[in-house]
Amino acid sequence: MTTEVIDRPHITDEELDRFKKMLNTAMRELLDQADSAVSELMLERSRDTELIDSTAADINRTMNLHLHSRKSRLIKKIKDALKRIEEGSYGYCDICGEEISLKRLNVRPVTSKCIACKEAQERMEALIS
């Protein structure tokens, strides 16, 4: 009796669909939040003239802009992950080409690096800074 090895991708089509839905939902939520934040900033700006303490308003605006910037970077990462799904490279490390574990993808579906390469990158960044 011979055992035949079947070459299958480590991520099934069902799992890819689940990741795609998860990423699309996250992006919709972030875009909705971004729209709300922009509206809030515009409203806040019109109220700033009424505030006595403009420093507090400036600090609040700076914090909101920082959060918006972080969300923008996450939206870009989501778009990149969706592109990798379409191209067929999702789930593979963009540095070493090895499979990214499903456990890691479930925790961070936007990741493009396996844990070993990400840790190496972080060590290198720590040495540089």
User: Across residues 32-48, what is the average pLDDT?
Assistant: 66
In DSSP terms, 99 is beta-bridged to 92
Structural domains of the chain ordered from first start: 12-90 (1.20.120.910), 91-129 (no CATH)
Whether the per-residue pLDDT at 70 is higher than 80: the answer is: yes
Residues 64, 40: contact at Cβ < 8 Å?
Answer: yes
Higher pLDDT, 26 or 50: 26
Q: d(Cα 45, Cα 104) in Å, to the nearest integer?
A: 41
pLDDT class for 46, splitting at 50, 70, 90? Answer: low
